[in-house]
Amino acid sequence: MILKNLRAQNVLKYAHLVLSEIPEKGLIAISGRNESGKTAIVESICFALFGRTFSVPENKLEQIIRWKESSCQVELQFKGRDNETYRVERSLNHKGTHAAQMFRENEEEPFVSGPHSVNEAVYEVCDFDFSQYLDALYLAQREISTPHSQSETIKAIAGATDLEEILDELKCDIEYEKNRIHSLDADVSETVRQINELNISNQALENIEQERRTLNDRTHEAEQAARSLDTTADNIQAGCSRVQTAGKAIATTHIDTSLKDWTDMIDELDSQISTMRDSCEGIETDSDLCAEQSKLHQQVTELGNRLDAFADVQDRMDAYRAQLASLLDEGDTNHEELGTERPLPGQQKDISRQIRRITLKNVACQFGILSLTIITLGNLFVWFQSSTTFDPAATEWLHGTLDQLAGAWSRHFVQISHMTATVFAIATGILVFYSMAFSQRIRELKKQRDTLRERIDDLQTRARLIDDSDTRPLPELIAGLEKLHNAGISQRLTIFTQGMGFPFVNQPALTTEQDRLLDMLNICMNSVSDLRESIAIEIGRHQRIIEESHERTEELNAEQEDIRQRREEISQLREQVDNMATRKIRHEEHIRTLELSRHLIRGTCRNIYNRFNQVLSKYTGMVMPKLTDGRYKQMQIADDLSVRVFSQDKNDFGELEEFSSGTQRQMLLAVRLAMSKALIEAAEQGKQFIILDEPFAFFDRERVRATLDALPKVDKNLDQIWIITQEFTDTKPFALHIECSRDSDELIIGQFGQ
Amino acid sequence: MSILSWLGIRQRFMRRSALDEFNEFIKEEKTLQRGTDNHFDEQQFDKAVDLIRDRLKKRGYKP
């Protein structure tokens, strides 16, 4: 870049500043006393190029406006590295409003507008920015020093800006990753703390389970107890009803009730009382109803005992019945063992057998009588016919028949017929006698048989009385028994009817007992009501236990649910911890990658800087002899840009501090010029200007002269060299000499912009 | 002598592409690391190289 024309209005000291047709090659001198406006010229150039200056802070840019003026304008025409001519116009008012435009040569319309766009366009055509300009092309007043190794200019010139920026980005990334890890660690700690807060011991859950089981058992027991009590109450109620039924059956029974019915009713009542009492086994009560010897039970027992007193009578009845059985030949009774007569049926059979035998004999006798009578009559007929001639024909027929039947004996038969008739008549008389005796005997036997039959009937009646003793009404039975005229029975019966069995044979006494029984039943009924009430109270107690257990179970369920939720939360938190640990590992892995990246970039930058320093050392070695009149030729620039110079006197490299101040300034000026050369070459600038503001502060006259001679020879592209100082003893080396006056606010050289 | 002087004059500072500088360095570094006794994690090395190349690519450097 080569400056061609400059025009400024109200900038710093100058109301008007015009520099026209500035020489493109050679030294340009700006001289003048203090506060004569020398630096204002280069500040105007700087403002025109970059919109800011070296001496005025960027946030107070309006300070460059001339005192008492409201705005300033500056216009700079320059030739860029593309060898094209550009013009930059800037204006600034006291409010800080900054306007800029950039034009190509011979164009009326700007190709960019606005300070930012113009700055970018200037960078495009110059390839250096404000900082590089300050470090490499503008040596400010008395600011000759070694450039800092980390300066942006060095990085830019060396081409490491992007790498350095990436290095910074990676550093930020590493910091970010570390912060993320730190944040993750904090999150993990917080999560672990939350887990610890939420954590619960297994013992708590076991305790809940244990308590739940206990409650379940307790509830189950209470429910069972309540059901049992309810069932017991129902059983007692039902039992009481059955007792009432059985009791009222006794209480309302007429006296004409059989022994068996009495026994059955009393046994039934006793059984129902026992059943009802057994129903009380599941409960604890002092109710008389459930007592082993309740009044009702005692009453029933007494009735039973009274009835049992009949057992003595029954024993006698049984003994008597056995005798009857023996007489009636029932069963296997042995009359000899009992000492009774033979069984009457047997006797009856014997008599009947005798009757039949005698009857048979009698019939035989009667048949004999008949036969003998016929024979007798026949003999009498034969004898009569044979002894008379009353009917010869008949006599003839008779003799003929007899001859046919008896043959020779017929005659004899007729002769003895009267005798045989007599014999047979006698025999008939005998048989008649026997027949009469048999008939008499038969009549006697039949009479005996009838008597036995009557006895058997009587005995059977007695036996039926005894056999039916259970079903016969008791009074009727007793009356029947009394009629048996059995001494034993009668005696026991008297004891029974006048003693224990009195209520069963006496209606008033029975009524009294029945009334007592009814009273007892009423008491039983009332006791059942009381008992049910107490059972209900007990059931209520169990219900409360059940309700309390349910409530506690609900609480335990809530606790268990809470524990379950907390466990789920813990699980989620642990999952988060695992995720965070995984993320931390990834961040750490990324940090390692980033650090390795930084290592690689640093290595790359180191190579770049080493190469740049080598070139810079070489350039400095080329420039320095020209500034020191050949006294110092070799220079080493370390990585940190610290400078060591080879001293011929010392025959070794020495530190910069070992040389005089003037020599140090010359050496550092050489470094700056070398950097300018490097920048020009690196940017492939072509022709370039450089501004040196008061570079010869500690230079002696010879060195000033030598430097002025050497400057145009430093680099073939470093054509336009601006040098500012208070005065020059010799103005011959300069292509243009600008003299500034402290008393004038105008500096016009040439006609640019007019 | 004149040839050497000419060479010295011709030794100008040529600013190279940061990507080229980087590629050259990692080529040497990779060879160096492979030759050392240290455990060389080539996968991580390649990851770091890709990271830097990606950053440079975002800045307009073309491979």
DSSP A269-329: HHHHHHHHHHHGGGS----GGGSTT-HHHHHHHHHHHHHHTHHHHHHHHHHHHHHHHHHTT
Distance CA A217, CA A322 (A): 65
Q: How confident is the model at residue A151 (pLDDT cuts 50, 70, 90)?
A: low
- Of A393-397, A646-650, B40-44, highest mean pLDDT: B40-44
A98, β-bridge pairs: A92
Report the chain A residue with the minimal C-alpha distance to residue B44: A593
> Can you tell me the mean pLDDT for A36-62?
89
Give CA A331 to chain center in angstroms. Answer: 83
Q: Taking CB atoms and an 8 Å cutoff, what residues of chain A touch B51?
A: 593-594, 597
* Residues of A whose CB is below 8 A from B59: 162, 165-166
Cross-chain Cβ contact A607/B24 below 8 Å = yes
* pLDDT value of residue A684: 66
The pLDDT value recorded for residue A100 is: 94
A361 pLDDT above the threshold of 90: yes
Confidence of residue B7 (pLDDT cuts 50, 70, 90): very low
Q: Quick check: A607 and B21 CB within 8 A?
A: yes
Q: 3-class SS at A56? A: coil
The predicted model gives A27-44 an average pLDDT of 90
Q: Beta A71-79 vs A652-655: how paired, if at all? A: unpaired
Cβ of A603 within 8 Å of Cβ of B56? The answer is no
Chain B residues touching A607 at Cβ < 8 A: 21, 24-25
Does the predicted interface ipTM exceed a cut of 0.90? Answer: no
A597 contact residues in B (CB cutoff 8 A): 48-49, 51-52
What was the pLDDT predicted at A567? 86
Range scoring the smallest mean pLDDT among A299-303, A703-707, B32-36: A703-707
Phi-psi label, residue A722: left if phi above 0, alpha if psi -120 to 50, beta otherwise: beta
Is pLDDT of A363 > 90?
yes
Q: Binning pLDDT at 50, 70 and 90, where does residue A582 land?
A: very high
**Could you tell me the pLDDT band of residue B1, with boundaries at 50, 70 and 90?**
very low
Q: Quick check: A419 pLDDT over 90?
A: no
Whether the per-residue pLDDT at A35 is higher than 70: the answer is yes
Cross-chain residue pair A159–B15, CB shorter than 8 Å: yes
* Nearest CA distance, B47 vs chain A (angstrom): 7
- The A-side interface with B (CB below 8 A) comprises 157-160, 162-163, 165-166, 169, 592-594, 596-597, 599-601, 603-604, 607-608, 612, 615-616, 618-619, 677-678, 681-683
Range among A12-26, A636-650, B9-23 rated most confident: A12-26
pLDDT, tens digit, for every residue of A671-689?
777 777 777 777 666 788 8
Is the CB of A162 less than 8 angstroms away from the CB of B11? no
Cβ count near A737 (within 10 Å): 15
Q: Which of B11, B16, B52 sits opposite A597 (nearest CB)?
A: B52
Q: Residue A675 has what pLDDT?
A: 76
* Residue range A207-238, pLDDT digits in tens: 888 998 998 998 899 888 888 888 888 888 88
Give long-range contacts, CB 8 A cutoff, 24+ apart: A646-654.
none
Does residue A556 have a pLDDT over 80?
A: yes
Distance (Å, whole) CA A624 – CA A633? 6
What is the rounded distance in angstroms from the CA atom of residue A643 to the CA atom of residue A654? 9
Average pLDDT, chain A: 85
Percent of chain A with pLDDT over 90: 25
> pLDDT value at position B6?
40
How far off is chain A from B35, nearest CA to CA, in Å?
17
Nearest residue in B to A595, CA atom: B48
- Could you say which DSSP state residue A58 is in? G
Q: Is B30 on the interface with A (CB under 8 A)?
A: no
Please, are residues A560 and A205 in contact by the beta-carbon 8 Å criterion?
A: yes
Q: How far is A683 from chain B (nearest CA, A)?
A: 8
Which among A159, A603, A683 has the least Cβ separation from residue B16?
A159
Predicted confidence at residue A18, as pLDDT, reads 93
CA A46 to centroid of chain Cα atoms = 78
**% of chain A beyond a pLDDT of 70:** 96
Chain A partners within 8 Å of B22 (Cβ): 163, 600-601, 604
Q: What is the per-residue pLDDT for B12?
A: 54
Using the Cα atoms of residue B25, residue B29, residue B30 and residue B32 in order, give the sign of their dihedral. positive
Q: Which spans in A159-201 are helix H?
A: 161-198
pLDDT digits (tens, 9 = 90+) for A585-613: 999 999 999 999 999 999 998 888 888 87
* pLDDT score of A437: 93
> pLDDT-derived band of residue A296, with 50, 70 and 90 as boundaries?
confident
CB-CB under 8 Å, B17 with A681: no
Q: Does residue B58 belong to the interface with chain A, where contact is any CB pair within 8 Å?
A: no
Q: Which residues on chain A are in Cβ contact (under 8 Å) with B21?
A: 159-160, 163, 604, 607-608
User: Token pair of A229, please?
Assistant: 């009590």
CA distance A578 to A674: 58
Report the chain A residue with the minimal C-alpha distance to residue B11. Answer: A615
pLDDT score for A526:
85
Whether residue A617 has pLDDT greater than 90: no
At A619-667, the pLDDT tens digits run 777 778 877 777 787 777 776 667 788 877 778 888 877 888 777 777 7
pLDDT of residue A147: 58
Query: Angle at the Cα of A513 (from A508 to A516), degrees rounded to 5?
Result: 125
Distance CA A3, CA A691 (A): 11
Model pTM? 0.53
Question: Which of B4, B10, B15, B22 to mutate: most A Cβ within 10 Å?
Answer: B15
Count of A-B CB contacts under 8 Å: 76
More confident residue, A156 or A748: A748
CB contact under 8 A, B21 and A163: yes
- Band of the pLDDT at A7, cuts 50, 70, 90? very high
Nearest-by-Cβ selection for B59 from A162, A600, A601: A162
d(CA A400, CA A390): 17
Nearest-by-CA chain A residue for B30: A600
Q: Which helix (H) or strand (E) holds A723?
A: strand A718-725
Angstrom distances, CA of residue A261 to CA of A256, A469, A716: 10, 11, 157
- Return d(Cα A451, Cα A445) in angstroms, integer: 10
pLDDT at A143: 54
Q: How far is CA A657 from CA A135, A652, B58, in A?
A: 22, 14, 45
> Which of A165, A599, A618 minimises the CB distance to B11?
A618
- C-alpha distance from A38 to closest chain B C-alpha (Å): 33
